[in-house]
Amino acid sequence: MTHILILTGAGISAESGLGTFRDKDGLWTQYDLEEVATPEGFARNPALVHDFYNARRANCLEAQPNAAHAALARLQRAHKGHVTIVTQNVDDLHERAGAKDVIHMHGELQGALCAACDHRWPAPRVMSPDAPCPSCDTPSTRPDIVWFGEMPYRMEDIYTALGDADLFVAIGTSGNVYPAAGFVMEARAMGIATLELNLEPSDTASAFEDARFGPATQVVPAWVEELL
């Protein structure tokens, strides 16, 4: 049976009320990503960075998974072959919709990391620069989020899964940020079928053999329904 590898981006959580990054009034039109999503920005002003992620963590807690998250969880349960979900999103809406073993390549809002000793623990609702690490006690805690210039998580697992896949599907991502934006070309090079499900053609749309456009809450359930 077919192994489907799905890559999701902010667009799958847009209809849950969580902002995307590059759409009109997206997060990067409201905040300077250099200040809130880079290690240099964190070193300059950790309080601003914590405020940014505390606000996103609060939004995430209030948000609900939508029909697209639910459809992917259903696909994982009902599809005879394997379904790997890789997400660029740091929200936990896939998990709250019932998805399993989601690979968060850009980290998670629900995770905290100590910049001094690499200890990880479940993030409190509100993080602050002077909160001590529960393990080494130094005030060096940060959100467990992969910032620009840092290495995304679990890349080996992702490439192993991609190499084994029969179908690569990108959902709700603009194809702006590598290495995720390059997965479609890797898939094509390995002769894997490719499909884009997005509100509108992404920056990598031309690389996909097939595409369906519209809101994720309509396009994703319809696609899953057809598959099952």
Query: Which residues, at least 6 apart from 219, have a Cβ–Cβ distance to it below 8 Å?
Result: 68, 197, 212, 213
Query: Shortest gap between Cβ of 218 and ligand APR (angstroms)?
Result: 8
Query: Which residues, at least 6 apart from 192, have a Cβ–Cβ distance to it below 8 Å?
Result: 162, 165, 166, 167, 168
* Active site annotation includes 106: yes
Nearer to ligand APR, 49 or 133 (CB): 49
Q: Which of 63, 116, 131, 199 binds ligand APR (CB under 6 A)?
A: 199
List the one residue out of 154, 111, 189, 144 whose CA is nearest residue 7.
154
Is residue 173 a contact residue for ligand APR (CB under 6 A)? yes
Is residue 107 a contact residue for ligand APR (CB under 6 A)? no
User: What tokens were used for 130?
Assistant: 């002077």
Count the residues of the shown chain that bind ligand APR, applying the rule CB under 6 A: 23
Query: Shortest gap between Cβ of 209 and ligand APR (angstroms)?
Result: 18
Strand pairing class (210-213; 103-104)? unpaired
Q: Which of 9, 41, 65, 221 binds ligand APR (CB under 6 A)?
A: 9
User: What tokens were used for 38?
Assistant: 């880079």
Nearer to ligand APR, 137 or 213 (CB): 213
Among the options 50, 104, 106, 119, which is catalytic? 106
Residue 96 is inside which H or E element, if any?
Answer: helix 93-96
Evaluate whether 89 touches 10 at the Cβ level (below 8 Å). Answer: yes
User: Terminus-to-terminus CA distance in the chain, angstroms?
Assistant: 12
Is residue 10 a contact residue for ligand APR (CB under 6 A)? yes
Q: Which of 76, 84, 110, 198 binds ligand APR (CB under 6 A)?
A: 198
Is residue 144 a contact residue for ligand APR (CB under 6 A)? no
Q: Report the interface residues with ligand APR, using CB under 6 A.
A: 9-11, 14-15, 20-23, 26, 88, 106, 172-174, 176-177, 198-200, 202, 215-216
